[in-house]
Amino acid sequence: MKANLKHRQLKDNKKGYTKVVGGLVALLLMIIVGIMVYWETSDSITLSSSEANESRDNVNDMATTVFDLLPIIALAVVASIILMVILGFGGGKKGL
């Protein structure tokens, strides 16, 4: 029930929409910057043993999979915001 109270407070507060959009932009920027930083640091690592290089390659393969899935998180956040706005339209008047 606390989630419903938070939703009602956000629906009636225009500053709340600004915070949600700002959070979404911050999420997208963190995803992009995080991926760029990872690949830049990953490419600069040189290892001497073949086992270490194989392990690094396995980590890079897993990172590629995770980085491919990160935009889905952003899409889910956008979809939840859209649903929140759509559900807010049918609220009607309070007190009836």
Evaluate if residue 47 carries a pLDDT over 90.
no
Give the model confidence (pLDDT) of 2-33 as tens digits: 555 555 555 566 677 778 778 888 888 888 89
Higher pLDDT pick, 46 / 33: 33
pTM: 0.61
Instruction: Note the pLDDT of residue 92.
Output: 53
- Residue 47: φ, ψ to 5°: -120, 150
d(C-alpha 70, C-alpha 75), whole Å: 9
